[in-house]
Structure 1
Amino acid sequence: MKKLPIFFLIALLFSCSEKDKKDSFLNILENLTYTIDTLVVDSGEEFINLSLSLNFSDVSEDKKSLFIFDRGRLSFQEVDLDQMKLLGTYPFEMEGPNGIGKGGIFQLFPDRKLMIPSVTKTAIYNLQGELISNLKLITDELEHTSNIDEFTLLNEIHFDPKSGVFYSLPGNYTSGIRELAIINATTNKGKVVKLPELEKAGNFRVFFNTKNDKAIEMEKYSLSLILEKIYITCTVTSGVYRYNPATDDLEYIEFNHQIIPNEKTGEIINEVYSQKEFNAEYRKVASQISYLKLMWDEETSRFYRLAYKGVLGDQQLEPISYQVFLLAYSEDLELMGETLIPDFNQVPKSYFFKDGKLYSYVNVEDELGFAVFTFDF
């Protein structure tokens, strides 16, 4: 038998112990218990339009207010999340010098001003519906641009009022691949940065392409501005891109989750020409793990996120239910915990952390409500 040098054995043992240390962790969520309360917002004599759930909404940085944009009535409504009541409705105009156009997405700033972007006009408004300042977004002066449709510059768009910089995730509509756009609103110059670790998302798109019908299912991306850094995630994988504007550094952080796969796998036919083929390929994707956006909780000084897997029926296209998982990370994005949440059997439509609790939107007989999860760590 060939003998190994002693220094090689020591190095091997050290390497294995470091790997074991990296691949294992003290799971703070392993024995997690929780209670669930359902809270309903008191809207008084007003009406909160929930036809689009909370698709067009934003939570204030201090988690005290939720703002909802009602596209039909062209108004914003403010909900007090401590008292669970509607505080006010703020009407806006579509046309004219203060017009906001036909958009729907917006961003709420700490000073209670709103950034409302569109392809033709992007501006900051106060709650009285008055335009405060115009911002330059659309530009031909982007470095390293590829085949980007200018409309996709609105994907996950965020504006940092401190630096005057836009961040978004543009790309080609049908490729399923996104890139990071960084645009200075003052100079109207910027760059587009590739996100190679997330390009695998393109392998899991399903494009139904016929002369009369077209449909596409793609992986979803998220971009968040948290603690003065940019965090980018995609449902295809647990990995996270973190961009530091102060140093212009972009890094990709991977995890080794224990109870769920780290990413989607397998072969998917990306372009199909019949409903039967579309259903078959979509089911391959829907049954796999999907990782959602990162959420920062000041109360615990941790990042949290949700992940889910579809539970398929025999014939039904959509999953009949879901397994939903809660994941926890340190401020430096070290994995701290993971667990299944049995009481979630559907993917939350809108959710956020507040005071260490998870708030998940629910419709309670057409009234705005939240299922509030209080965790016992």
Structure 2
Amino acid sequence: MDHFKSKFLLISILLYSCGQKSTFDSPQVFYYQLDTVKIDSKNEILDLWGFASFSDLDLDGRTIFSYNSFNHSLDQIDLEKLEFKKRIGFEKEGPNGTGEIFVGFNVLKDNRFFIKSYVESGIFDNSGNLIQRIDWRKSINSNGEVYREYPRRQIIAEAEDLLVFGLSYDYENVEINLDVLSVEENKVNRLGLNSKKSYGDLSIRSARSGNIVDPSIEFQNQNNKIIVSYEFSNEIVYYDLKEKALKFVDYNPTLTPKRVNPPNIRVGSLEEIIKEVKHFYEQVKFYKPVWDPESKQYYRLSTKTIYAEEGTEKSTETYGEVQEIKVFLSVFDTEFNFLMEREIKELSEFDNDYFMKDGKLWLFINLEDEFGFVRLSLSK
């Protein structure tokens, strides 16, 4: 165990009820603690990009798997011992082929994995063998027609029926939908996400290529909920697997706007698009909500970026030199009622991946090209 540049902070936070439905009926004193740890790679080459892009906790929360694009494998990291544990190799082609590259995966029970590539998805065992192929394009939609699509993002849910949820991007109308494939019935049901305000209105079309520059979307399975969240809007949409219902979450944050202002252009040059997106980051960027089974709460980070004034020398960064990033933590109860929001002043940099373990928020960071985590715990 290597506690790299470890830091301990204990800060009292006074929380008040914010006028919305809340479990806090009176002032509460909370403390948060930060420390930084590094993973012992055991001389293995780990893929930092793969971890930041595609990773998933095992079901007991003791280890985490991440994609290694160097050798098309899943690396298992022991979060108790903070060290590399083992590597599971997969084939790209053939009867057990996953496809050329992972674009998402989920850890399932009984040592199985749901793996998605660009054009294929399937369930595999922990030896890399294919158990079941998932084929959206041969399924039937609600109109009785062949579905023929292949959702860019997919998540599997092992409920009464094996369900695969997919985000379907409609670039012509600039909207997204949530499609649900029943593997047993081979049928797809489409659920409208009403994504105009959080997605369509915040997308810009390139005047040169015609492609859409759109907000990123987080898509995850947590606490028996399939959760969709947006980059530049605080809106959360989730499908409750127990109630079999789609629900929309609307809340009023106290330290950030609910969403960025729509861009001044619908179609623009590269320079115009960069200017608009930079202004988005200056207003607010939202990250995914994650569930903590210990506190029975969801935690979500958001940021505001402050850029340095443009000097005579042009910055090599796309949006200019960053002067400061303000980080905020929002807390919700089990039904996504907003409880509180606080700035975490000691936290200014992290990659777009974090998860809850043992009541702590683990944030992935690059420590001189090695795996590291900042761990934040929040307690009364």
TM-score (norm 1): 0.84
Which residue in the other structure is 2:45 paired with?
47
Query: What are the ranges of 5 or more consecutive residues in structure 1 without an aligned counterpart?
Result: 1-19
Partners of 1:75 and 1:91 within 8 A in 2:
yes
Which residue in the other structure is 1:9 paired with?
none
* Deviation (angstroms), 1:120: 4.0
Which residue in the other structure is 1:284 paired with?
279
Q: 1:29 to 1:298 in 2, by over 3 A?
A: farther
Which residue in the other structure is 2:142 paired with?
143
Distance (Å, rounded) in 2 between the aligned partners of 1:243 and 1:303? 16
* Deviation (angstroms), 1:164: 0.5
Distance (Å, rounded) in 2 between the aligned partners of 1:207 and 1:106? 30
* Deviation (angstroms), 1:319: 6.2
Q: What is the number of residues matched between the two proteins?
A: 352
Distance (Å, rounded) in 2 between the aligned partners of 1:200 and 1:258? 19
Q: Greater helix share, 1 or 2? A: 1
Residue 235 of structure 1 aligns with an amino acid whose one-letter code is E
Moved more, 254-263 or 22-31: 22-31
* Deviation (angstroms), 1:287: 1.4
* Cα shift readout 1:14-68 (whole Å, capped 9, x = no counterpart): xxxxxx9437884999865433222111121322122445212211132111111
Moved more, 350-359 or 40-49: 40-49
Partners of 1:238 and 1:291 within 8 A in 2:
yes
User: What is the DSSP-based 3-state SS (H/G/I as helix, E as strand, rest coil) of the residue aligned with 2:327?
Assistant: strand
Distance (Å, rounded) in 2 between the aligned partners of 1:27 and 1:311? 35
Is residue 74 from structure 1 mapped to residue 72 from structure 2 by the alignment? yes
* Deviation (angstroms), 1:118: 3.4
1:251-330 matches, cutoff 5 A: 251-273=247-269, 275-315=270-310, 317-318=319-320, 320=322, 321-330=324-333
Q: 1:61 to 1:176 in 2, by over 3 A?
A: farther
* Deviation (angstroms), 1:175: 5.5
Q: Greater strand share, 1 or 2? A: 2
Report which of the two structures shows the higher radius of gyration computed on alpha carbons. 1
Distance (Å, rounded) in 1 between the aligned partners of 2:301 and 2:352? 12
Query: What are the ranges of 5 or more consecutive residues in structure 2 without an aligned counterpart?
Result: 1-17
* Deviation (angstroms), 1:326: 0.5
Distance (Å, rounded) in 1 between the aligned partners of 2:135 and 2:101? 16
* Cα shift readout 1:297-330 (whole Å, capped 9, x = no counterpart): 0111111111112212333624613211101111
Distance (Å, rounded) in 2 between the aligned partners of 1:90 and 1:255? 42
Percentage identity across paired residues of the two chains? 22
Residue 326 of structure 1 aligns with an amino acid whose one-letter code is L
Which residue in the other structure is 1:183 paired with?
181
Residue 221 of structure 1 aligns with an amino acid whose one-letter code is I
Q: 1:28 to 1:281 in 2, by over 3 A?
A: farther
Q: 1:161 aligns with which of 155, 158, 162?
A: 158
Which residue in the other structure is 1:114 paired with?
113
TM-score (norm 2): 0.83
Q: 2:366 aligns with which of 363, 367, 372?
A: 363
